[in-house]
Every structure is written in structure tokens, then in C-alpha cells.
């Protein structure tokens, strides 16, 4: 006897899980070159852009906050007109915020 057909297998569809980004968009130059390093012992985050050298080192974060939380505080400070954001002294390039 010849078997006809057979059992069909159900296709498994893998869903891509969304992950929290590690590199963010810089509000000064618009490129995705902003890196964030959190020092949990001091409770501060160091934020630096690899293209325009904008830098901020005193964003306070708690031990449960992630880099995305520090990025949100940085963007609020940048657009809110709070404490001015510094550029890296080695490059000598002023940021757009300092020209205002």
C-alpha cells in the first residue's frame, strides 16, 4: 500500500523581541553615536557623542535605572535649557547649545 499525503507540520513563527538600545541619537548632531556609561557606585552616568564630542558627566541615576533612563534625563536637560551641556575640551569644537 502506498501512503498518500501524510501529516502536515505547523510552521513555527519566531517573534523578534524588542531590546533596549545601547547607542542613542545625539540631540546636537542627530547621529546615532551617543554612548552612555553608568557608574553605579557614584550614581552618575557619563554621556558622550562620538561625532560632535558633546559630553555630560553628572546625570544622577539610581541603581535600578538603565541607560535609556539616563538618556531621557540628558535630552530633557538639553532641550529644557537647564545646566548647559559641555563639549569635550580636547576637540575644541563648540556645540550648538553654547552658540545660543
pTM for the model? 0.65
**Domains, in order of start, for the chain:** 23-95 (2.20.25.190)
C-beta pairs of 21-29 under 8 Å, 24+ apart in sequence = 21/68, 22/67, 24/67, 24/68, 24/71, 26/51, 26/52, 26/54, 27/74, 27/75, 27/78, 27/79, 28/52, 28/54, 28/78, 28/85, 28/95, 28/96, 28/97, 29/54
pLDDT tens for each residue of 43-87? 899 999 988 888 887 889 988 888 999 999 999 988 886 655 666
Amino acid at each position: 500500500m502506498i501512503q498518500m499525503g501524510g501529516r502536515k507540520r505547523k510552521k513555527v513563527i519566531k517573534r523578534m523581541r524588542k531590546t533596549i538600545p545601547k547607542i542613542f541619537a545625539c540631540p546636537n548632531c542627530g547621529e546615532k553615536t551617543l554612548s552612555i556609561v553608568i557608574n553605579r557606585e557614584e550614581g552618575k552616568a557619563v554621556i558622550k557623542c562620538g561625532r560632535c564630542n558633546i559630553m555630560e558627566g553628572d546625570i544622577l541615576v539610581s541603581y535600578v535605572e538603565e541607560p535609556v533612563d539616563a538618556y531621557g534625563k540628558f535630552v530633557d536637560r538639553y532641550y529644557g535649557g537647564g545646566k548647559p551641556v559641555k563639549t569635550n575640551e580636547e576637540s575644541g569644537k563648540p556645540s550648538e547649545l553654547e552658540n545660543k
